[in-house]
A and B are shown apart, each in its own frame.
Chain A
Amino acid sequence: MISLRNVEKFYEAGATKNYVLRRINLDVAEGEFISVMGPSGSGKSTLLHVIGMHDTAWGGEYFLDGQPVHKLGKKERAELRNKTIGFVFQSYHLLDHLTVYENLEIPLSYRDTAKRERQSVVADALDRFHIVGKKDLYPTQLSGGQQQLVGVARALIASPKLLLADEPTGNLHSSQGKEIMELFKRLNDEGTTIIQVTHSEQNATYGSRIVKLEDGWIVNN
Chain B
Amino acid sequence: MGTIWQDLRYGFRMLWKSPGFTTVALLALALGIGANTAIFSVVNAVLLRPLPYRDPERLTLVWWSAPKLSLDQFPASAPDFVDWKTRSGVFERVAAFKGASFNLTGGNEPERVQSAAVSADLFPMLGVQPRLGRAFADEEEQPGHEKVALVSDGLWQRRFGANPGLVGQQVALNGESYTVVGVLPPNFNFPEGDTKIDLWVPLSFDPKEMSQRGSRSLIVAASLKPGVTREQAGVGMNLLAKRMAEEYPATNADWGIQVQPLTEAITEDQRPALLILFAAVGFVLAVACANVANLHLVRAATRHKEVAVRVALGASRLRLVRQFLTESVLLAGVGGVLGLLLAVWGVDALKAVLPSDVPRLEEIGVDASALGFTLLVSLSVGVLLGLAPALQRTRPDVAEVLKEGSQSVAGGLRRNRVRAALVIAEVALALMLLTGAGLMLRSFWQLREVSLGLDPENVLTMKLTLPAQKYEDASRQTAFSEQLLQRVMTMSGVASAAITTSLPLSDTSMTDFVVEGHLRQEDVEDQIGAYSSISTDYFRALRIPVIRGRAFNEQDTEKSAPVVIISETLARAYFGDEDPVGRRIKTGDGDEEGGEAKAEGKGENKDKNNAGDEEQEQGKGGADEHPWMTIVGVVGDVHRFGLDEKLKPEIYFPYRQQPGTEMALVVRAASNPSGMTAAVRREVRAVDAEQPVYDIETMSQLLSESIATRRLSVVLLAVFAALALVLAAVGIYGVVSYSVAQRTHEIGVRMALGAQGRDVLRLVVGQGMILVCVGLLLGIGASLAVMHTMSSLLFGVSATDPATFACVSVLLAVIALLACYIPARRAAKVDPMVALRYE
Interface residues in chain A, defined as those with a beta carbon under 8 Å from any beta carbon in chain B? 49, 52, 54-55, 74-75, 78, 81-82, 87, 89-91, 93, 95-96, 106-107, 110-111, 154, 158
| Closest A residue, CB atoms, query B835 | A93
Contact B836 A107 (CB under 8 A): no
Partner of B836, one of A82, A93, A110, A111: A93
**How far apart are the CA atoms of A90 and B409 in the complex, in Å?**
21
The docked-state distance in angstroms from the alpha carbon of A55 to that of B836 is 10
Contacts of B754 in A (CB 8 A): 78, 81-82, 106-107, 110-111, 158
Q: Taking CB as reference atom, which chain B residue is nearest A78? A: B756
Interface SS of chain B: helix
Cα(A96)–Cα(B839), bound, Å: 15
CA distance A17 to B839 in the complex (A): 23
- Answer whether A87 and B752 are a contact pair too, CB < 8 Å, given A54-B832, A96-B409, A110-B759: yes
Are A95 and B749 closer than 8 Å at their CB atoms? Answer: yes
Decide yes or no: A90 and B753 within 8 Å by CB, A55-B833, A96-B409, A110-B759 being known contacts.
no
Cβ of B371 < 8 Å from any Cβ of A?
no
Q: B752, B754, B756, B839 — which one has the most chain A CB atoms within 10 A of its CB? A: B754
Assess the A93–B752 pair: CB atoms within 8 A.
yes
Contact string against A for B residues 732-756, beta-carbon threshold 8 Å, 1 for contact and 0 otherwise: 0000000000000110011111111
Q: Least Cβ distance of B827 to chain A in Å?
A: 15
Contact of B746 among A54, A91, A95 (CB under 8 A): A95
A110 touches B753 (CB 8 A): yes
Q: Could you tell me if A54 and B836 are in contact, using CB atoms closer than 8 angstroms? A: yes
**Which of B757, B759, B832 has most chain A Cβ within 10 Å?**
B832
Measured between beta carbons, the chain B residues less than 8 angstroms from A49 are 833, 836
Which residues of chain A have C-beta atoms less than 8 A from B759's C-beta?
A: 110
Q: Which of B756, B833, B836 touches A89 (beta carbons < 8 Å)? A: B836
Q: Which residues of A contact B753 (CB under 8 A)?
A: 87, 106-107, 110, 154
Q: Which residues of B contact A91 (CB under 8 A)?
A: 839
Residues of B at the A interface (CB closer than 8 Å) are: 409, 745-746, 749-757, 759, 832-833, 836, 839
Considering the complex, give the chain A residue whose CB is closest to the CB of B745. Answer: A93
Q: B832: which A residues are within 8 A, CB to CB?
A: 54
Chain B's closest residue to A86 (CB) is B753
A91 to B839, CA, bound (A): 6
Closest to B751 in A: A54
Closest-by-CB residue of B relative to A154 is: B753
Whether B756 lies near A54 (C-beta < 8 A) is no
Tell me which residues across on chain A come within 8 A of B751, comparing CB atoms.
54
- The answer to whether A90 touches B839, judged by C-beta atoms less than 8 angstroms apart, is yes
A-B contacts, 13 of them at CB < 8 A, read A49-B833, A52-B752, A81-B754, A82-B754, A89-B752, A89-B836, A89-B839, A91-B839, A93-B752, A95-B746, A106-B750, A106-B754, A110-B755
Kindly list 13 other residue pairs between chains A and B, CB separation below 8 angstroms, not including A106-B753, A111-B754: A49-B836, A75-B756, A78-B756, A81-B754, A89-B839, A91-B839, A93-B745, A93-B749, A95-B746, A95-B749, A107-B754, A110-B759, A158-B754
Residues of B within 8 A of A87 (CB): 752-753
- The answer to whether residues A110 and B756 also contact, given A49-B836, A54-B836 and a CB cut-off of 8 A, is yes
- A99 to B833, alpha carbons, bound, how many Å? 24
**CB of B743 to closest CB in A, whole Å:** 9
CA–CA, A111 and B759, complex, Å: 11
Please, which residues of chain A bring their CB within 8 A of the CB of B752? 52, 54, 87, 89, 93
**Bound form: Cα–Cα A145–B201 in Å:** 102
Chain A residues near B756 (CB, 8 Å)? 75, 78, 110
Distance of A75 Cα from B753 Cα, bound (Å): 14
Report Cα–Cα, A107/B749, bound state, in Å: 10
Instruction: Report how far A52 CA is from B753 CA in the complex, Å.
Output: 10
Listed from nearest, the 3 A-B pairs whose CB atoms lie closest are: A110-B754, A82-B754, A91-B839
Residues of the B chain whose Cβ atoms lie less than 8 Å from the Cβ of A158 = 754
- B409, B749, B759 — most chain A CB neighbours (10 Å): B749
Task: Give the distance to chain A from B288, nearest Cβ to Cβ, in Å.
Answer: 31
Q: What is the CA–CA distance of A134 and B356 in the complex, to the nearest angstrom?
A: 75
Closest residue on chain A to residue B759 by CB atoms: A110
| B627 nearest CB across to chain A (Å) | 89
Q: Known contacts A90-B839, A95-B749; is A54 also within 8 Å of B755 by CB?
A: no
B746: chain A residues within 8 A (beta carbon) = 95
The residue on B at minimum CB distance from A81 is B754
Minimal Cβ-Cβ distance residue in B for A155: B753
Q: Which of A74, A107, A111 has the most C-beta atoms of chain B within 10 angstroms of its own C-beta?
A: A107
Q: Which residues of B contact A95 (CB under 8 A)?
A: 746, 749-750
In the bound complex, what is the Cα–Cα distance between A87 and B749 (angstroms)?
Answer: 11
A93 to B752, CA, bound (A): 10
Q: Name the A residues within 8 Å of B755 (CB-CB).
A: 106, 110
CA distance A185 to B777 in the complex (A): 55
B23 to chain A, nearest CB (A): 33
Which residues of chain B come closer than 8 Å to A106, judged between CB atoms? 750, 753-755
* Set of chain A residues within 8 Å of B749, measured between Cβ atoms: 89, 93, 95
Contacts of B750 in A (CB 8 A): 95, 106, 110
A91 to B838, CA, bound (A): 9
Q: Which residues of A contact B409 (CB under 8 A)?
A: 96
CA distance A105 to B23 in the complex (A): 43
Least CB distance, B302 to chain A, in whole angstroms? 20
Measured between C-beta atoms, what is the minimum distance from B764 to chain A in Å?
Answer: 15
A110 to nearest B CB, angstroms? 4
**Cβ–Cβ < 8 Å partners of A74 in chain B:** 757
Q: A54 contacts which chain B residues (CB < 8 A)?
A: 751-752, 832-833, 836
Residue of A nearest to B757 (CB): A74
Least CB distance from A8 to B in Å reads: 16
Residue of B nearest to A55 (CB): B833
- The distance in angstroms between the C-alpha atoms of A90 and B838, with both chains bound, is 11
A69 to chain B, nearest CB (A): 16
Q: How far is the CB of B723 from chain A (nearest CB, A)?
A: 36
Closest residue of B by beta carbon distance from A167: B839
CA–CA, A79 to B503, complex, Å? Answer: 78
- Shortest beta-carbon distance from A81 to chain B in Å: 7
Report the separation of the CA atoms of residues A110 and B409 in the bound assembly, to the nearest whole angstrom: 25
CB closest residue in chain B, given A158:
B754
Q: Which residues of the other chain, A, contact B833 by a CB distance below 8 angstroms?
A: 49, 54-55
- Cβ–Cβ < 8 Å partners of A55 in chain B: 833
Nearest B residue (CB) for A85: B754
A75 to chain B: which residues have CB within 8 Å? Answer: 756
Complex CA gap A87/B752 in Å reads 8
- Per the bound structure, the CA–CA distance linking A208 and B648 in Å amounts to 101
Question: A49 vs B833: C-alpha distance in the bound complex, in angstroms?
Answer: 8
A158 and B754 CA atoms in complex are apart in Å by 10
Chain B residues lying within 8 Å of A82, measured Cβ to Cβ, are 754
- List B contacts of A89 (CB < 8 A): 749, 752, 836, 839
User: CA of A125 to CA of B683 in the docked complex: distance in angstroms?
Assistant: 102
Distance in angstroms from B754 CB to nearest chain A CB is: 4
Docked complex Cα distance between A143 and B722 (Å): 53
- In the assembly, what is the distance between CA of A54 and CA of B749, in Å? 10
Question: A87's closest neighbor in chain B, by CB?
Answer: B752
In the complex, how many angstroms separate the beta carbon of B756 from the nearest chain A beta carbon? Answer: 5
User: What distance in Å separates the Cβ of B712 from its nearest Cβ neighbour in chain A?
Assistant: 51
Query: Smallest Cβ distance from A12 to chain B, in angstroms?
Result: 15
Report the Cα distance A91→B409, complex, angstroms. 17
Question: In the complex, A111 Cα to B751 Cα: how many Å?
Answer: 12
- B839 contacts across to A, CB distance below 8 A: 89-91
**Nearest chain B CB to A26 CB, angstrom units:** 20
Chain B proximity of A154: nearest CB distance (Å): 7
Closest to B413 in A: A97
A154 to B753, CA, bound (A): 9
Instruction: Report the bound CA distance from A111 to B756 in whole Å.
Output: 10
A107 partner residues in chain B, CB cutoff 8 A = 753-754
| A77 and chain B: residue at smallest CB distance | B756
- In whole angstroms, what is the CA distance A55 to B754 when docked? 13
**Least CB separation from A93: chain B residue:** B749
The chain A residue with its CB closest to the CB of B752 is: A54
A101 to chain B, nearest CB (A): 15
Min C-beta distance of B798 to chain A, whole Å: 43
**In the complex, A64 Cα to B584 Cα: how many Å?**
101
CA–CA, A89 to B836, complex, Å? Answer: 8
